[in-house]
Structure 1
């Protein structure tokens, strides 16, 4: 299971952030469709392909001038898998993938600038198809620290905003259901302790005198994870998840109300 210390830290910080929210003065709800190029790489293995999904966000600025942002989304689709078996034989297959995420961010707006920090969770579920295939899930708990430039589009006309964010991994786990591929072994549960993420986006928006603001965003996300802890699966040697990198580049389009 996920490191209890990481989960505990996540819960305490989430309660603290939620407790800082006074009565809201204004709010903006955004709903968007997404399309992304997804790439995951580790030694001797790569997974790459398009994913599609949706995202929603609620943003509020309070009478005190502080702000809160709650967001979440999902990307899903199929990718091409190019790797090797445990014995070193090449394997090419396809996978079914679903990436879900959510988080809360507490900001301190000052003019067009809004520094913020928060808490986030990311879950990625893979299904490796074909003979010898199995399911694998990745869960990350992380601390986002970032800066937004610009603000939600309220008046008529054009607007823009940008955001840059660093994500510190608090903890996580990779669960590989290896018993699906070989009933003689146990499933692997490898704790994740070290890693980081980066996120950046630029948004252009337009609003008529009446109606919602229409948004178009270009965004990029990057994760760099160190080797996991080891776990025993009924074989002479324990197993671990190797160091790996994930890159997601995509477009979002939707409306803000």
Structure 2
């Protein structure tokens, strides 16, 4: 959880850096062209299954992603962001067979997500903003055992 929060903070700081081109004193703010951002991500993944309080399995490890974001100011007060990301990786599987014998192996995950964000930038300086946002999206992934 701490890793996800740290990653989110780094992402927000990077996004704030890319928003520097939208200067507050720009008279034609809503006329700005859309811009693209290519980004990489790393997230921690954990999946656990229990039966009657006993842990049956745990999968954990990093998932790596590569994405494309399109951002466009809708007006001086609102920005729209659309993101598409592919992600995947191998995680450790610690579980058991139906008979209860321990099993350790690797599991490969691959997936994609699509998100739409609507942000409301607050200007800290003429060139730096903080942007809380509303997000709606879809995420799916598939796995395979080795």
Structure 1 counterpart of 2:69, from 57, 69, 83: 57
Number of paired residues?
107
**Corresponding position of 2:47:** 40
Deviations 1:119-158 (A, max 9, x none): 11111211123xxxxxxxxxxxxxxxxxxxxxxxxxxxxx
Question: 5 Å matches for 1:94-113?
Answer: 94-111=106-123, 112-113=129-130
Larger proportion of helix: 2
* Contiguous gaps of at least 5 residues in structure 1: 1-22, 130-257
* Contiguous gaps of at least 5 residues in structure 2: 1-29, 124-128
**Corresponding position of 1:119:** 136
Q: Root-mean-square deviation (CA), in Å?
A: 2.3
Structure 2 counterpart of 1:30, from 33, 37, 52: 37
Deviation at 1:89, TM superposition (A): 2.6
Q: TM-score w.r.t. structure 2 length?
A: 0.61
**Corresponding position of 1:89:** 101
Q: TM-score w.r.t. structure 1 length?
A: 0.37
Name the CA distance, whole Å, in 1 between partners of 2:139 and 2:31: 27
Deviation at 1:64, TM superposition (A): 4.7
Structure 2 counterpart of 1:80, from 89, 92, 111: 92
Higher relative contact order (CA 8 A, sep 6+): 2
Deviation at 1:82, TM superposition (A): 0.7
